[in-house]
Structure formats: structure tokens, C-alpha cells
């Protein structure tokens, strides 16, 4: 059963954590944070809050009759103090900045706990999925449909098979890059064991985009739609990716729209529409998304990063080097002991005499 919050102080305490919204296209993140913060502040100020508006005084002498009277405390009056909450009291943050052109799922954090969780989500390098639509045959100045056309090319030769081969090439290039970052050979047994045991490879403290999967969803020339899954993927990278695909198929292309479908455990089912950017829906969404954010530390603790893998490799090399040195020292000790035992034997004297006789 849902509990209705009527006190402003209790509602403000619930605004701690992360929540998901659906970001409309061509809307800046600064405008979104300002509008949500202003709406939450206004709704908090419109709620009832416990504030003393009277003061109690005891009048009269100690020896005589004393009376208790209650007066209006204008120092605590709402008209004197003003609103209880200001817009600075509701701070908003986000793990990844989304450019104005990009739309879809957007994770936001509110107040101190939300800022901490947003930073942890950014450092976790969660997998994101984007749906991108492009148009062949036209290259624009800013690589978007809003830019002025600078080149027109033919696209009739572009087939589904050719486009899929280009996408497979891009995916294999990034997969080879992931393995090379770890210092392994792509077709070696060590690379297979690491990928099989430790899971996904993630660059340590790096913002370099890496594609884990890319596929063609639809092709209706000149329009085509692709689905890109990877880490550290932002709007600028998606725009340049569509331009690169156009060049690889011997044509040109620009981006029509890009939409984020998934960010780690969060999907579009968790996202709040613009009409639901209010206090009560946001508080409910925070309670729903809080469990996913708390579990990220446990779920992503076993995933391999470049720094941890290199540290483990250096540790293994040091251990192997130490074992090799111990084995060599052990062999030397055995050889010296065998030599001493041989010298102590009577056969050693006969051997020395035979050697001297041979020299003579």
C-alpha cells in the first residue's frame, strides 16, 4: 500500500538517491536540472510543514498571580522568513552528460546520496545500448540533420550485406582493441581464458568508447537504423560513428536521431516522462531504483579492468621469477653437495691421480 507523504520535511528526506527520466531531444541537461529542481522546490514549499508561529510568555510577579499568555511569534512567521526551501537545497547530478541531440534514458541523482551514487555509476562503466538512425547520401557540416549539406553522394550501391559487413568489421576492431589493451594475443589461449573467466574487459579509468555489439536493425534506403551496445558511448561518438559508416560503404551519411535504451540495469521502463517530473513520482522512482544502485558494487566487483589485470599479471611475473631463482639456487646447492660428496669419496683421489698421469 502506498504511503502518502504530507509533511515537507519527510518528503525532503526521501529525495536522496538516483532516479530515471526520459530526456526529450533538443533539450539541454542544464534546462532539465533547473526545471526539475524548481518544480521540486515549489512542491515542497506548497506542502504543510511544522513551524512554531506562537511564543509563550509568563506574566506577573513571583509573589503574586502569574498568567501564561500566547503571542504571535513574528520572527518565525512564514511571511517574515519566506519559503522554507530554496532551489539550492535540491541539487541534481548525473553520471553521464547527454548532448542536446541525444534522447532517451537519463539517470539523475538528487542531493548528497544521489551525487555519490552518480559518481559510482560513472566509475562502474556500465554497458549502454543506443538506437541510432542515419541517412545515406548527404554529408552535413555538423554531421547532424540540422547542419548545412556539404556533399551529396550516391547510395544505390549500398546493400544490407555490405552494411552488415562494415558493422561486423567495426565490432571486431573494438574487440581486438580490448584484447590488445591487456597485452594479449587475440587468438591465444590466454586471451580466451581471461575472457571466459573474468567477463567483460573494461578500460581502467579511461573514457575511451568500446563497442561490444553493433547490429543493423532496419534498412530502407536512404534511411538505416543500427543498435550499438558498449561502454563510454556518448552522443558525439554516435554521430561520428554514423559518419564513419557512411564513408566505409563508399558513400556519406549523417545522423537523424539517437536514443538511449539501456544504461546498466536501468531501462526505459524505469524512465519518467516529462509530465511525471513531480515530487511524488520522483520519490517513488528513487525507491524503485535505489536497490539497483546499491547492488552495483557487488555485481561489478568481479569484472576485469585494465589496471587490475595488469597488476595481477605483474604479480604473477614476480612470483614466477622468484620461483625460477629458488629453483636455480636449489640446483646449485644440489650440485655443490654432490661435488662435496664426490670429493669425500675414495674414487676422487683415484680420479685426480688419473688426471695427473694423463697430463704427464
Instruction: Tell me the pLDDT tens digit for each residue of 64-121.
Output: 788 888 887 777 777 777 788 888 999 999 998 999 999 999 999 999 988 988 888 8
Burial of 221 (0-12, 13-18, 19+ CB in 10 A): middle
Q: What's the confidence (pLDDT) of residue 136? A: 96
Question: What distance in Å separates the CA atoms of residue 26 and residue 124, rounded to the nearest whole number?
Answer: 28
Average pLDDT of the segment spanning 182-191: 69
How many C-beta atoms lie closer than 10 Å to residue 309's C-beta? 19
Question: What distance in Å separates the CA atoms of residue 136 and residue 247, rounded to the nearest whole number?
Answer: 10
Average pLDDT of the segment spanning 317-321: 72
Confidence tier at 305 by pLDDT (50, 70, 90): very low
User: How does DSSP classify residue 268?
Assistant: G
Burial of 202 (0-12, 13-18, 19+ CB in 10 A): buried
Class of domain 127-263: alpha beta
Give yes or no for a cis peptide into 144 (omega within 30° of 0).
no
Angle between helices 235-248 and 160-181 (to 10 degrees): 120
The proportion of the chain whose per-residue pLDDT surpasses 70, expressed as a percent, equals 78
Please indicate whether residue 153 or residue 58 has the higher confidence score (pLDDT): 153
- The answer, yes or no, to whether residue 36 has pLDDT greater than 70, is yes
Amino acid at each position: 500500500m502506498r504511503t502518502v507523504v504530507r509533511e515537507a520535511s519527510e518528503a525532503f528526506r526521501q529525495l536522496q538517491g538516483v532516479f530515471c527520466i526520459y530526456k526529450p531531444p533538443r533539450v539541454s541537461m542544464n534546462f532539465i536540472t533547473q526545471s526539475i529542481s524548481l518544480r521540486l522546490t515549489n512542491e515542497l514549499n506548497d506542502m504543510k510543514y511544522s513551524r512554531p508561529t506562537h511564543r509563550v510568555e509568563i506574566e506577573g510577579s513571583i509573589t503574586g498571580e502569574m498568567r501564561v499568555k500566547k503571542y504571535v511569534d513574528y520572527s518565525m512567521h512564514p511571511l517574515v522568513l519566506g519559503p522554507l526551501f530554496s532551489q539550492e537545497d535540491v541539487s541534481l547530478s548525473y553520471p553521464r552528460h547527454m548532448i542536446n541531440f541525444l534522447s532517451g534514458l537519463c539517470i539523475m541523482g538528487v542531493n548528497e546520496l544521489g551525487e555519490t551514487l552518480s559518481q559510482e555509476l560513472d566509475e562502474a562503466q556500465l554497458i549502454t545500448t543506443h538506437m541510432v538512425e542515419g541517412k545515406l547520401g548527404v554529408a552535413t557540416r555538423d554531421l547532424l540533420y540540422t547542419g548545412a549539406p556539404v556533399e551529396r553522394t550516391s547510395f544505390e550501391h549500398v546493400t544490407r550485406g555490405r552494411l552488415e559487413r562494415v558493422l561486423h568489421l567495426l565490432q571486431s576492431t573494438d574487440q581486438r582493441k580490448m584484447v590488445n589493451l591487456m597485452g594479449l594475443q587475440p587468438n591465444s589461449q590466454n586471451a580466451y581464458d581471461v575472457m571466459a573467466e573474468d567477463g567483460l574487459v573494461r578500460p581502467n579509468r579511461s573514457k575511451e568508447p568500446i563497442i561490444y555489439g553493433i547490429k543493423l536493425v532496419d534498412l530502407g534506403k536512404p534511411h538505416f537504423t543500427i543498435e550499438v551496445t558498449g561502454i563510454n558511448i556518448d552522443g558525439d561518438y554516435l554521430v561520428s560513428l554514423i559518419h564513419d559508416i557512411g564513408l566505409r560503404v563508399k558513400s556519406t551519411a549523417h545522423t537523424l536521431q539517437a536514443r538511449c535504451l539501456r544504461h546498466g540495469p536501468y531501462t526505459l521502463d524505469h524512465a519518467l516522462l516529462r509530465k511525471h517530473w513531480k515530487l511524488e513520482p520522483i520519490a517513488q522512482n528513487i525507491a524503485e531504483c535505489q536497490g539497483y544502485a546499491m547492488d552495483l558494487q557487488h555485481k561489478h566487483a568481479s569484472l576485469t579492468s585494465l589496471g587490475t589485470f595488469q597488476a595481477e599479471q605483474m604479480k604473477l611475473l614476480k612470483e614466477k621469477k622468484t620461483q625460477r631463482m629458488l629453483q636455480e639456487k636449489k640446483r646449485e646447492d644440489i650440485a655443490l653437495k654432490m661435488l662435496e660428496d664426490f670429493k669425500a669419496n675414495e674414487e676422487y683421489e683415484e680420479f685426480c691421480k688419473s688426471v695427473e698421469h694423463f697430463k704427464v
